[in-house]
Amino acid sequence: MHMNIAKTLKKTPRASGFTLIEMVLVLGIVALLVGAGIFSLIGVLDTGKESRVKGDINTFTAALRAYETSNMFLPSTEQGLMALVEKPSARPQPQNWRPFMKKVQLDPWGNMYHYRRPGTKDKGGFDLYSAGADGQPDTADDIGNWGL
């Protein structure tokens, strides 16, 4: 009797484990889910960069207004945003200059922010903007203080 049980166990095929088709099916489903997740996150990064540019512009604007309050004028286009970090040597010379920022940072795409006084888009003051993803100033993807 002991012998019959051993023969019966040897003759039954093993039903445990996964077949190749099951594994391929599961991997395919996982790949679809990961692809859908990545596709839905594509626009999130761009939105984050635009939000950072708007925050940077607000910071620069506050520093430029403080510069204007101390010196009774804004930096010229030639002096640019560096007038907030280093005392300008060109005219107009600020009488009450002090550093208003530690450094002039780059936009999220690694480009310098653009400053123009008097402004062409903000007629009453100055244009301060990022050239956007294409890095070319005065194109449709610019993000500036006129749009805030």
Q: Which residues make Cβ contacts (< 8 Å) with residue 77, sequence separation at least 6?
A: 115, 116, 117
Q: What CATH number is given for 40-147 in this structure? A: 3.30.700.10
Which of the listed ranges 2-11, 30-39, 49-58, 115-124 does the model predict with the highest average pLDDT?
49-58
What is the per-residue pLDDT for 42? Answer: 74
pLDDT single digits (tens) 67-91 = 999 999 999 999 999 999 999 988 8
What is the pTM (predicted TM-score) of this model? 0.69
Measured between alpha carbons, how far is residue 96 from residues 31, 64, 104 in Å? Answer: 62, 14, 20
pLDDT band at residue 44 under the 50/70/90 scheme? low
93-142 pLDDT, tens per residue?
888 889 999 999 999 999 999 999 988 887 768 999 999 889 888 888 89
Q: How many residues does the chain have?
A: 148
For the chain, give the mean pLDDT.
85
Could you tell me which residue, 72 or 148, shows the higher pLDDT?
Answer: 72
Structure tokens, 28: 């395919």
- Boundaries of every domain in the chain: 40-147
Helix, strand or coil, per DSSP, at residue 127: strand
Q: Which of 31-45, 55-69, 129-143 has the lowest mean pLDDT?
A: 31-45
